[in-house]
């Protein structure tokens, strides 16, 4: 049971699938950012895998987590610049028919926060991609309607990025005399 | 021997009538709504204070109950709903989120609905128990009777 999905993915895409990890039936694979669309299309359409339920799409900001050092510590210790990509876009897939699941991760660098949209493969991920754009500022290339989904158009920045100040507010309206 | 006549200032008599016929507009956004329902239901029975009739249009209401978290995105809407209410009008902030933002100190939550509209009574609690809500309502009635609410202060200060 364990590793079956990962093995099949590696067999089909030996060059696109990178590190993998499996524990207690929890299977994770890193996939090259450029190949994400074909890998997910394969997972959906392959009769043995049949990943027909897109359970989640989200993102992780790993700012300062690459080697466990913050910006300041790195400077003090003279440690080399963190060269790990800052973001990870995470896809969770489940198969209702086969009853198995897999987690796909894609590393996305800070200086080019883009990844191909998969909203055409799983229509419900349309809104998930808008959420990730809203909160983390990852641009999904090819998305049909990439607007903010929770926050307002006037909002500047992406609040779940680790460098967004925790209590910074961007009010739309205030009563007279209120700051 | 019954009471044959009584004297009062017209303003006091009107305030007395107003405080026992509050028509509320529940602006319910979050979990505090459950506590609001409990307060309105027969066990605690907000009807005993003459405030049992929720209106679902702000134009017919004179008391706005802001029940739950208000986000920054909701600010302009809240301000507009308040503007649609006829005067005289009063506002109760129901629950700690409506009072100060509560534990949501972040990018999306407004730190208290008094940032946008004037509030007469703040009821803290997460959520407040129905007894607290009734206590808040009685405080508001007291303020109305004493001509101390925000609306009345404004009318008085506008007078020449």
pLDDT at A76 over 80: no
pLDDT at B4 over 90: no
Q: What is the pLDDT of residues A9-30, one digit of tens each?
A: 999 999 999 888 888 878 999 9
Residue A38 resides in a domain? yes
Strand ordering across the sheet containing A17-23 = A17-23, A26-31, A101-108, A87-94, A53-61
Residue A176 resides in a domain? no
Specify the DSSP element, H or E, that contains A53.
strand A53-61
Residue B15 resides in a domain? no
| Total residues belonging to chain A | 179
Q: How close is the nearest chain B Cα to the Cα of A21, in Å? A: 35
Residue A166 resides in a domain? no
Q: What is the pLDDT of residues B96-141, one digit of tens each?
A: 999 999 899 999 999 999 899 999 999 999 999 999 999 999 999 9
pLDDT for A81 equals 59
Q: Which of B135, B148, B157, B149 is nearest to B64 (CA)?
A: B149
C-beta separation of A168 from A156 below 8 A: no
Residue B127 resides in a domain? yes
CA distances from A123 to A54, A55, B15 (A): 9, 12, 58
Q: How close is the nearest chain A Cα to the Cα of B31, in Å? A: 19
Residue A54 resides in a domain? yes
The answer for residues whose C-beta is within 8 angstroms of residue B30's C-beta and 6 or more apart is: B67, B68, B69, B95, B97
All residues of chain B having their beta carbon less than 8 Å from the beta carbon of residue A166 are 105-106
C-beta separation of A123 from A148 below 8 A: no
pLDDT exceeding 70 applies to what percent of chain B? 92
pLDDT at A145 over 70: yes
C-beta separation of A62 from A24 below 8 A: no
Diameter of chain B measured on Cα atoms: 66
Residue B122 resides in a domain? yes
Q: How far apart are CA A159 and CA B63, in angstroms?
A: 35
pLDDT for B14 equals 87
Q: What is the pLDDT of residues B84-95, one digit of tens each?
A: 998 888 999 999
pLDDT at A101 over 60: yes
Residue A155 resides in a domain? no
ipTM of model: 0.76
How far from chain centre, in Å, is Cα A18? 16
CATH label of the domain that carries residue B117: 3.40.50.12280
Number of structural domains found in chain B: 1
Residue A159 resides in a domain? no
Q: How far apart are CA B89 and CA B81, in angstroms?
A: 12
pLDDT at A90 over 70: yes
Domain boundaries, position B76: 22-154
Mean pLDDT, all residues of chain A: 87
Residue B6 resides in a domain? no
Mean pLDDT, all residues of chain B: 87
Domain boundaries, position A66: 4-141
> How many other C-beta atoms are found inside a 10 Å radius of the C-beta of residue A172?
17
Choose among A169, A174, A178: nearest Cβ to B107: A169
- What ranges make up the beta strands (E) of chain A? 17-23, 26-31, 53-61, 87-94, 101-108, 114-116, 139-141
Choose among B106, B114, B116: nearest Cβ to A173: B116
Among A108-117, A139-148, B34-43, B47-56, the least confident range: B47-56
Residue B130 resides in a domain? yes
Where does the pLDDT of residue A83 fall: very low under 50, low under 70, confident under 90, or very high at 90 and above?
Answer: low
> How many other C-beta atoms are found inside a 10 Å radius of the C-beta of residue B157?
7
Residue A9 resides in a domain? yes
All residues of chain B having their beta carbon less than 8 Å from the beta carbon of residue A176 are none
Higher pLDDT, B152 or A3: A3
Contact check, Cβ <8 Å, A172/B76: yes
Number of structural domains found in chain A: 1
CATH label of the domain that carries residue A135: 3.30.460.80
């Amino acid at each position: 049971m364990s590793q079956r999905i990962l093995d099949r993915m590696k067999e089909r895409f030996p060059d696109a699938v990178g590190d993998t990890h499996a524990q207690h039936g929890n299977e994770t694979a890193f996939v090259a950012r450029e190949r994400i669309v074909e890998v997910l299309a394969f997972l959906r359409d392959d009769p043995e895998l049949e990943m027909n339920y897109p359970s989640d799409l989200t993102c992780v900001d790993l700012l300062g987590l690459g080697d466990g050092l913050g910006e300041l510590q790195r400077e003090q210790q003279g440690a080399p610049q963190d060269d790990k990509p800052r973001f990870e876009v995470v896809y969770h897939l489940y198969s209702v028919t086969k009853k198995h699941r897999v987690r796909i991760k894609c590393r996305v660098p800070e200086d080019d926060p883009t990844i191909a949209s998969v909203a055409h493969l799983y229509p419900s991920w349309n809104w998930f991609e808008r959420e990730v754009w809203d909160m983390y500022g990852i641009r999904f290339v090819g998305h049909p309607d990439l607007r903010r989904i929770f926050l307002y158009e006037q909002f500047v920045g992406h609040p779940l990025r680790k460098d967004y100040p925790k209590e910074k507010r961007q009010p739309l309206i205030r009563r007279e005399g209120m700051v | 021997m019954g009471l044959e006549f009584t004297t009062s200032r017209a303003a006091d008599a009107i305030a007395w009538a107003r405080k026992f016929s509050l028509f509320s507009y529940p602006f319910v956004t979050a979990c505090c709504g459950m506590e609001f329902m409990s307060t309105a239901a027969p066990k605690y029975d907000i009807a005993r204070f003459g405030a049992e009739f929720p209106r679902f249009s702000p134009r017919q209401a004179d008391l706005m109950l802001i029940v739950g978290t208000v986000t920054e995105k909701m600010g302009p809407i809240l301000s507009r709903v308040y503007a649609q209410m006829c005067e005289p009008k009063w506002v109760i902030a129901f629950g700690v989120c409506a009072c100060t933002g509560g534990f949501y100190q972040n990018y999306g939550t407004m730190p208290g609905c008094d940032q946008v509209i004037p509030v007469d009574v703040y009821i803290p609690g997460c959520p407040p128990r129905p007894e607290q809500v009734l206590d808040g309502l009685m405080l508001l009635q007291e303020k109305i009777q004493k001509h101390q609410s925000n609306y009345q202060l404004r009318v008085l200060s506008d007078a020449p």
